[in-house]
């Protein structure tokens, strides 16, 4: 009888604990582990060019890159440099009416820069994150994004895949866009979402990132997830993101996405504090070519 009373008391105590949630918990999940594999800190103490072992330049073709953009991309120090104060800076500068650039790019109104790591450095999986201050002047279109490495080796877009880690339109200074493009879901029909920041993103530095794993990509703004992409989201089309990609960083002006620039905008600036790339639970690889 004593044993039965002890068993009954123990059962009652356990039932009470379950009812009030006392010390009866689900097993803890293992913490996600991030390991830094690569970075660009831009800590040069003098004004200088971006590292040529990492960054190459896309130069303008004079045709608006298929988006009716109005910038002329250069490798001029006036358009892109490390400022000697810990930042990579891309400046869009309005052309004068007598600029010789207008002789072969009549629709251009600004010079700017577009950097890429194609055929120099590539990545597959992991966290890609940058701390940046983006411009929000009317008509600005800053972007931090990735393209499938196959595109640099004779492949075609959108079959190569595209991951827009962040892009913004100056006409909507609080809105951050994250988008994936692939075969059957590109351009206007890319798969993505938006994050509404409490203040214009030009007010200060923010972090923009993707956590990229096999068959899954998560977009974040200041660490807050706002969109997840998996093969189930392609509408039955091919998922093309389990391969090597390279980075692009640019400041476009005008075009179909942000609309026309304001003639009063004489310049606009994209400031990059750092770019860092981490493995996630061992998933992540840097390719150096």
Has 167 been annotated as catalytic? yes
Distance CA 97, CA 68 (A): 20
Rounded Cα gap, residues 164 and 208, in angstroms: 10
Output the 3-class SS for 24-82. CCCCCCCCCCEEEEEEECCCCCCCECCCCCCCEECCCCCCHHHCCCCEEECCCCCCEEE
The C-alpha R_g of the chain, in whole angstroms, comes to: 24
Six token digits for residue 19 = 């009812």
| C-alpha distance across the termini of the chain, in Å | 78
170/275 Cα distance (integer angstroms): 22
Q: Look up 244 and say whether it is catalytic.
A: no
Q: Which of 71, 162, 244, 256 is catalytic?
A: 162
Q: How far is CA 289 from the centre of its chain?
A: 22
Catalytic residue among 69, 167, 244, 256: 167
CB under 8 Å to 33, separation ≥6 — which residues? Answer: 280, 281, 282
How many Å apart are CA 210 and CA 125, to the nearest integer? 9
Cite the active site residues. 162, 167
């Amino acid at each position: 009888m004593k044993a039965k009373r002890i068993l009954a008391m123990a059962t009652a105590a356990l039932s009470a604990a379950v009812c009030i949630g006392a010390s009866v918990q689900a097993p803890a999940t293992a913490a996600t582990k991030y390991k830094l594999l690569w970075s660009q800190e831009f800590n040069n103490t003098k004004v200088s060019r971006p590292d040529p072992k990492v960054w190459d330049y896309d130069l303008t073709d004079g045709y608006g890159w298929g988006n009716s953009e109005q910038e002329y991309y250069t490798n001029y120090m006036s358009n892109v440099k490390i400022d000697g104060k810990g930042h990579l800076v891309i400046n869009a500068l309005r052309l004068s009416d007598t600029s010789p650039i207008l002789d072969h790019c009549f629709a251009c109104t600004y010079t700017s820069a577009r950097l890429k790591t194609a055929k120099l450095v590539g990545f597959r999986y992991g966290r890609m994150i940058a701390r940046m201050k983006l411009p929000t002047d009317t008509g600005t279109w800053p972007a931090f994004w990735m393209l499938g490495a196959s595109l640099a080796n004779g492949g075609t877009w959108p079959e190569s895949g595209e991951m827009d880690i962040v892009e913004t339109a100056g006409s909507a200074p609080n809105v951050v866009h994250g988008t994936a493009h692939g075969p059957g879901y590109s351009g206007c029909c890319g798969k993505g979402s938006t994050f509404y920041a409490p203040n214009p993103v030009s007010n200060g530095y923010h972090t923009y990132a993707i956590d990229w794993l096999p068959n899954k990509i998560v977009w974040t703004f200041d660490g807050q997830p706002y969109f997840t992409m998996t093969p189930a989201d392609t509408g039955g089309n091919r998922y093309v993101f389990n391969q090597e990609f390279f980075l692009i960083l640019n400041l476009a002006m005008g075009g179909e996405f942000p609309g026309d620039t304001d003639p009063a905008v004489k310049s606009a600036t994209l400031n990059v504090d750092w770019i860092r790339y981490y493995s996630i639970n061992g998933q992540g690889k840097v390719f150096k070519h």
